[in-house]
Amino acid sequence: MITPIKTKPVFKQYIWGGSALKDKYNKDIQDNFAAESWEISCHDDGLSLVAEGEHKGRTLKEVIFENKEQMLGDCECERFPLLVKLLDANDKLSVQVHPDDAFAFEHENGSLGKTEMWYVVDAKPGAKLVYGLKDGVTREQFAEAIENSTLEELLNFVPVEKGDTFFIPSKTIHAICEGLLIAEIQQSSNTTYRVYDYNRKDANGNTRELHTEKAIAVASMENVEGKEKAVPKTTMVNDTKVSVLVSCEFFEVVKYDVSGDIMIVDDSFQLFVCTEGCGKLVYDGGETEFNAGDSVFMPAALRNYTICGNAEVLISRVPKK
């Protein structure tokens, strides 16, 4: 019987992390401290596991590609295309940029590029992030500011509130600042070019590696001021608010504010993460309970299921071609 697959995440310990993933979602984290939780991942840098059922303890990647047709449907992909994370920015992240597919394929051993989106699960008062550069900055000025450690003067800082959505195409300079808890949906890539890290040092007194030459090569100089936040397209289905947060060539992300129940009919695979509340997934042959912070891989062969409860959930899929 085809059933939803709850996942066990992989935690990443970076210097900017904190305790929010433990505090809000009761994640089983060593020392209660983590920066990232790779919730649904088939990337070799962090393979999420099956949390329960007959495949408990195996990697999600193994289970999917052993039964690719039922799991992925008509998605003709040699590698799993998406990755879902939760990020706890207790401190600011480095200023960074990601390449597109063409650049990554040529310069990063055939890797995918990285287009991503952020949904702000929580934000402390005064929270902000970096989205692109100020209007009029040239590539020469960008390179000079990196060399002179004056890049902060050129960055476009944006105030952030809970519930905001940001779409970050590859080549966009960006950085999450402190006080934010974010759900990130992205291409399945771990290629990041770190541009500036506030001259921070790790526990051993070393600064983190920068990738300035590649960053200068790929970074977009496009004017983004006033266009930073994505504008969701929202409708009501019975008592559930359905908001299309982002739709691009790589993924579509829809937020469901469930109050009662809503049926999802889709013959593609989906990545489900609950950011608030709780409920259950009801499908032919059974049901699966979920709580805030849980993530679930929904196989394509499931075809339809009903979300029941009071919850905020994000569902991601690959657009049909």
Amino acid at 114: K
Instruction: Identify any residues that bridge with 184 across adjacent strands, giving them in sequence order.
Output: 85, 118
Query: How is residue 200 written in tokens?
Result: 């921070």
97: CB partners within 8 A, 6+ apart: 171, 172, 173, 174, 192, 193, 195, 215, 218, 219
Query: How is residue 182 written in tokens?
Result: 């974010």
139 is annotated as an active-site residue: no
Structural contact between residues 97 and 195, judged by C-beta atoms closer than 8 angstroms:
yes
How far from 252 is each of 100, 168, 170, 173, CA to CA, in Å? Answer: 18, 13, 16, 22
Structural contact between residues 230 and 245, judged by C-beta atoms closer than 8 angstroms:
yes
**DSSP letters for 9-78:** -EEE--TT-BSHHHHHH----GGG-BSEEEEE---TTS--EE-SSTTTTSBHHHHHHHTHHHHHTT---S
Which three-class secondary structure state does DSSP give residue 171?
A: coil
Amino acid at 315: I
In the set 194, 200, 208, 303, the catalytic residue is: 194
Active site residues: 194
